[in-house]
Structure 1
Amino acid sequence: MNRTGNHQVIHPLSSIPIFWQTEARSGVGKLQPTVRIQPVRTFNPALELPLGSGIGGFPSGSRKQWPVPALAPTYRGSQRALHTAPVPSAASPQLPLVVVLDNGNCRGQHLGCGQCAEPLTASWFTKPTDEVTATSFHEKVKKAFMAEMKAENIKQFLYNFTQRPHLAGTAENLRLAQQIQAQWKEFGLDSVELAHYDVLLSYPNETNPNYISIIDEHGTEIFNTSLFEPPPPGYETVTDVVPPYSAFSAPGVPEVKRLELLNSRLPALSKINTSLIPPEYTYRYEEARAVGLPKLPVHPIGYNDAEKLLRDMGGPAPPDSSWKGSLNVSYNIGPGFMSRYSTRKVKMHIHSSNKVTRIYNVIGTIRGATEPDRYVILGGHRDSWVFGGIDPQSGAAVVHEIVRSYGKLKKEGWRPRRTIIFASWDAEEFGLLGSTEWAEENTKLLQARGVAYINADSSVEGNYTLRIDCTPLMYSLVYSLTREIPSPDEGFKGKSLYESWHENNPSTEYKDVPRINKLGSGNDFEVFFQRLGIASGRARYSKNWRVEKYSSYPVYHSVYETYEIVERFYDPTFKNHLTVAQVRGGLVFELADSVVLPFDCRDYAEALRNYVQVIYNLSKNHQMGLTTYSVSFDSLFSAANNFTEAATDFHRRLQQVDINNPIAVRALNDQLMFLERAFIDPLGLPGRPFYRHIIFAPSSHNKYAGESFPGIYDAMFDIENKADQRKAWEEVKRQISIAAFTVQAAAGTLKDLA
């Protein structure tokens, strides 16, 4: 085994050739370490790989090509040898061989030394007769990962996470963070840290509760709203259940006689010329001068109390049926009460206060083997208003099982090509605070290294079909992955998730594919996608929106959102949770382990052409203004066409790339990774500086919904009622120019490198 010579291998996963030298262990002071070859006799049947040494690599069939992973140097102390090995011996052709390093001075402290506790990361040899490609190895590991996830585990995790309230900033939520941190370490992640931030949160007064009352002409209270929600069965003794309140409401005790009914839907709001959505700014002003904090007292009430308030309202009937709900009342819109109750007033008692409080994110990492400087992030929040049976813990339980399954693979020797970051965010319910703080702190790293962000909030909000919201870059990846996952839906036995999703929720924009929604806001992907331009997506099981017209599930953010509600009504067998885990985990796997990033810029091109046509069609509702002020969309149509040509040419080059050329692969991957960043305007949208994506942003009138070309859309919204028509239409033209420039510039990033 002490032969000398020069050798080269090509690792089929990374396509990077590795050169090394070997020499006999004679003499003293040799700079090159000696290399030993050891047979490995332990196998993992699921992966068909030996255990204990790292990522698997397989020869292509040629005796001249032996796999050695191309990793960054991994050493401790004085150990500075890279991955080196002689051509394997044929003495034991039936056994895989593992490479270990020995510099002759080891005392157990060197990573990769045969005398140390830890074997060299990622060093597999298999017999030359194995003809297994990098692609088949990737698929084998993915199959093992998918099979490792279990519905029963998710069920148990959900139960564990929902036995206590986990309001952001509380000791109970910190305890849950520490529990998750400890378990992620046990699962085998390389590192798990708590990242803390001091942020402004809002809490009700424990001794002076919030409520609304009706008072008579003498100021006597004749009706009070409930101070708390009656606990569900089995939770009567649970303490620290916060009563219903609206975070960051202004405190006060106002009395009003002109009670009015408002319809918060967009068509109705447009009639009353108001906006209920405050701008988004940081809290770090003096609180009295803070921009973005509500100036009005606000308080949520249940439908029982609402019925009592609405029953006696006066004024005209509602203008149309969209103002009417399902309560047994007339829905008169006021102002004030009926004539016989005209002396009554409504009084609010709001005593909440704001407080700077420490929050904690849990950040876990599996270091990438080949491209550790490229990050794929899976994140979901942990804090809940009360028990959080659906929001967020059905998502947190899925993340926990995904982390466990990745940890199992890592313990058996696997590493992803790129680094995977797992995040349990805090204070999402108070305005996406935990994820935003972490992303702001790491902005430069994320802008330079962020490949993708997969959001993992509630896993189920219904049990009818899959729902996907994502960037167009991920369309093809999502469709491909869901074709591999079996459908959990009744009536689709033996069929794929793609098939049931397609039948239950077909696209209204594209022919013969399932519906994929635009990313809006209201969740932790916002800072990654809308501000930093990192390709993002989310997956969950949802209801039948065509039939169930209510905005969310009935127990949303209430004390009744418990483990039992999920187990009894939403997903008794947890099959939908498992499916969501396979989608989220599968997306992360493909993004982190594929040699070429599984993004398709042609889908973005098609989406852009569609969005341009949609916004142009919308503009034709204002034909007189278009003509009068010479507004043209030609530049935007031209930019979209140029982007399509660039995307087509890029995809052709991608198909022809030599995957044995790591520089070429890396260059194309970087073009794909940075494409989403090309749509970011550092100045942000008008009046919304934190929303910087020119193609997608949450609607100004509904932050949960996504809008395409939001700058143009907002400029044209209600334009006929704007006082200065010339100025309004000049703003439309300015937004068209910004959009056209951005799309054209993005096309330039796809061109062949000079």
Structure 2
Amino acid sequence: MQPNKIREHLRKFTRLPHLAGTEQNLRYAEQIRDEWLEFGLDSVEMVPYDVLLSYPNKSQPNYISIVDQLGNEVFNSSLAEPVPEGYEDTSNIVPPYSAFSAKGQPEVHTCTTGSILQVSKGIFVFTCVKSVKHNLCARVQPYPAGWNLPGGGAQRGNVLNLNGAGDPLTPGYPAKDYTYRFSLEDGVGLPKIPVHPIGFHDAIHLNMGGQIPPNNWKGALNVSYRIGPGFTDDFKSQKVRMNINTDNKVTRIYNVIGRIRGALEPDRYVILGGHRDAWVFGGIDPMSGAAVVHETVRSAGRLLSKGWRPRRTIVFASWDAEEFGLLGSTEWAEDNAKLLQERAVAYINADSAIEGMYTLRVDCTPSLHTLVYDLTKQITSPEEGEEGVSLYESWHKRDNWTNDRDAPRISKLGSGSDFEAYFIRLGIAAGRARYTKNKKTERYSSYPVYHSVYETFEIVEKFYDPTFKRLQAVAQVRGGLIFLLADSQLLPLDADQYADSLRKYAHSITQLAQTHPEEMKVYEVSFGELVVVFEEISSNHSLVRVMNDQLMYLERAFIDPLGLPGRPFYRHVIFAPSSHNKYAGMSFPGIYDALFDIEHSADPQKAWEEVKRQISIAAFTVNAAAMTLTPPA
């Protein structure tokens, strides 16, 4: 895999905006299809779905206004971001908006704020660059002089609450022409209130009054950071009015699916998938990842031309409409669920390949930990001054997992990207890798220009990865995982590591429950049955007939077909996004959410009964997983 080729791919696919459902995104899909065929894949197809998407109304733009006591608009928020240099003549740049926002013109006197101003009738999100408070970011100039967000920049996004449902009008089923559709009023996860993002140059005009927030809520801008209610004394008579006219409509999207047929086990699939659609240019999200996929396909094609063929089938996917709720990947998973549950070995996600300039970041299921460590020991660090140092050593030095083991940190999978349906709904082993920031000194949730017009090719080339060696290292990790999973005679999935991780997760959730010792006694709550089950996994190890199908189906064994409470499409009993932070992965999510809800329950006995029920479900599921590893009778 060559860094100059990754650079070429990234430049090629970031020249124009390519929002899901637009003509340009279709053109890129066709270009990817054609080039994958030229690279030598056995087959490539474009797979369409008709899903609900959401766009600003061009004739009635969205904006926030400040209204005086006479009803006059005395300030209006910007209708667009200032376009970066070199892109002034580019058309079809969608302005900042919150996809699927309800329409409306609510007026409010009061609101509360963190980085989200929430009111009884609407929400407007502003990017206030809290990160400038923290060390590194305080010294970084706004783009184009640096990689920070300009004051006119704002973060696009969707405001759905899908919980894994896929297309809001066809939850659980592929959005094909024969599929029954809910009405727009009955769609899953659609918000009832207007929402809109604004930049901090606009937000400062709101003149918030009220209380001073805690110190850890404050940034380093020259403002008071008050959190309401109301406005400062000179502006108490003002109101804030939202003018939101976003339109939702069923639109055709296209996934691109390429395949290399396996030589010996063609009915076993290893999948590398990442999305193609972007809010604007997508320099980082997603095209840094799409460029890595493209280079992986090119490299695979070169191997094919020399006579190589993998043992198992490799599937490459360019997903559409990820930014609108993971729609393309979820629809394809629904469309092929039966086949995937029977045949899929693993899914490696290929969203943004870089979000910082410090070290590797890996999130994956425990059965992939050993493979990731072994692979990164064979890859060279991309960092200047670390010639001859392995990626593993560099990663270990910069992000050591000191609390659990002397090894680089690997995180749990949460949500927010295309692995969700494959891992959390279908139970397919999954992982993701990318280059990331120094979490100790760069304490912001995402890179500053996330989902803004400033996510360009140039910000990657100038700041994040001038040599493209970091993206090359990520390509080697993602591609290496795919090739090893597809070509190893014995699947490199580690059941021992899974069992060890389960014990640690059980210990953590038990410690959390012990914060309520009296209630646990009163309501007779015990984690004993869960601990016994882990011992069963340990005792079964010496009896395990290490066969590929048993290893492949281990992840499936943690799937509860009934799903988590209130989230029927989140079915993984061990891992799921937290109900309270959908980007963060949570172990034993059913138990965790039940414990969390105790604090807010009007009926403690009922709440503790739910904890006991979730413990029993977890114990049953882990026991079922242990049984999958025993020799057949």
Q: TM-score, normalised by structure 2?
A: 0.90
Which residue of 701, 704, 709 corresponds with 2:583? 704
AA aligned to 1:292 is G
8 Å Cα contact 1:196-1:358 kept in structure 2: yes
State the Cα deviation string for residues 3-27 of structure 1 (Å, max 9, x = none). xxxxxxxxxxxxxxxxxxxxxxxxx
What is the aligned partner in structure 2 of residue 722 from structure 1? 601
| 1:223 paired residue number | 75
Distance in 2, matches of 1:648 and 1:505, equals 34
Matched, 1:157 2:6: no
| Amino acid in structure 1 at the alignment position of 2:250 | V
SS in 1 for 2:552: helix
Secondary structure at 1:300 match in 2: strand
Matches within 5 A, 1:334-345: 334-345=228-239
State the Cα deviation string for residues 465-517 of structure 1 (Å, max 9, x = none): 00000000101100000011111123322111110000101114422110000
Structure 2: distance between partners of 1:613 and 1:260:
37
List per-residue Cα deviations over 1:212-255 (Å, max 9, x = no partner): 01000111111111110011000000000000000000011111
- Distance of 1:420 and 1:600 partners within structure 2: 21
* Distance change (3 Å), C-alpha of 1:474 and 1:220: same
Among 375, 379, 398, the residue aligned to 1:485:
379
What is the CA-CA distance between 1:279 and the residue it aligns to? 4.8
Does the 8 Å contact 2:258/2:317 carry over to 1?
Answer: yes
Counterpart in 1 of 2:209? Answer: 314
Matches within 5 A, 1:544-623: 544-623=438-517
CA distance in 2, matches of 1:264, 1:169: 28
Give distance in 1, aligned partners of 2:566 and 2:343: 29
Q: Which residue of 2 aligns with 1:109?
A: none
- Which residue of structure 2 aligns with residue 437 of structure 1? 331
RMSD: 1.3
Q: CA deviation at 1:292?
A: 1.2
Q: Write out per-residue CA displacement over residues 278-315 of structure 1, whole angstroms, 9 at most, x where no aligned residue.
A: 35343232112333100010000111112222xx2222
Matches within 5 A, 1:326-725: 326-650=220-544, 653-654=545-546, 668-725=547-604
Q: Say if 2:160 and 2:325, in contact at 8 Å, map to a contact too.
A: no
Q: Which moved more, 1:459-468 or 1:337-346?
A: 337-346
Q: Deviations over 1:23-53 (max 9, x none)?
A: xxxxxxxxxxxxxxxxxxxxxxxxxxxxxxx
Query: In the alignment, which residue of structure 1 is the partner of 2:101?
Result: 249
1:278 equivalent in structure 2: 161
Distance 1:572 1:170, change over 3 A: same
* Structure 1 unaligned blocks of 5 or more: 1-148, 266-275, 655-667
Deviation for aligned residue 1:718: 4.4
Structure 2 CA distance, aligned partners of 1:620 and 1:360?
49
Instruction: Classify the secondary structure of the residue corresponding to 1:698.
Output: strand
**Identical aligned residues as a percent:** 65
SS at match of 2:195: coil
Cα displacement string for residues 390-434 of structure 1 (whole angstroms, at most 9, x for unaligned residues): 000000001000001101111221110000000000000000000
Q: Encode CA deviations 1:113-153: one digit per residue, 9 max, x unaligned.
A: xxxxxxxxxxxxxxxxxxxxxxxxxxxxxxxxxxxx10000
3-state SS of 2:99 partner:
coil
Partner of 2:150: none
**Aligned pairs, how many?**
578
Residue type at the aligned position of 1:494: G
CA offsets, 1:433-469, max 9 Å, x none?
0000001000000000000000001111011000000
SS where residue 534 of structure 2 aligns? helix
Q: Distance between the aligned counterparts of 1:508 and 1:222, measured in 2?
A: 55
Give the 3-state SS of the residue equivalent to 1:194 in structure 2: strand
Deviation, 1:644, is 2.3
Answer yes or no: is the 8 Å Cα contact 1:167–1:173 preserved in 2: yes
Q: Deviations over 1:579-638 (max 9, x none)?
A: 011000000000000000001100001000000000000111111211111100000111
Alpha-carbon displacement from aligned partner over 1:53-74 (angstroms, at most 9, x marks no partner): xxxxxxxxxxxxxxxxxxxxxx
1:288 aligns with 185
In terms of Rg, which structure is larger?
Answer: 1
- 1:214 is the counterpart of 2:66: yes
Counterpart Cα distance in 2 of 1:261 and 1:521: 25
- Equivalent residue letter for 1:337: F
Of structures 1 and 2, the one scoring higher in RCO (CA 8 A, sep 6+) is 2
For residue 140 of structure 1, what is the aligned residue in structure 2? none
Contact preservation (8 Å) 2:81, 2:453: yes
Q: Matched residues in 2 for 1:224 and 1:647: separation?
A: 66
Deviation at 1:339, TM superposition (A): 3.0
Q: Scaled by the length of structure 1, what TM-score is found?
A: 0.76
Residue segments in structure 2 that go unaligned for 5+ positions in a row: 118-158, 170-180
Shift of 1:263: 5.8
Q: Secondary structure at the match of 2:377?
A: helix
Matched to 1:435, the amino acid is S
Instruction: Check 1:326–1:706 CA distance in 2 against 1; reply closer, same or farther (3 A cut).
Output: same
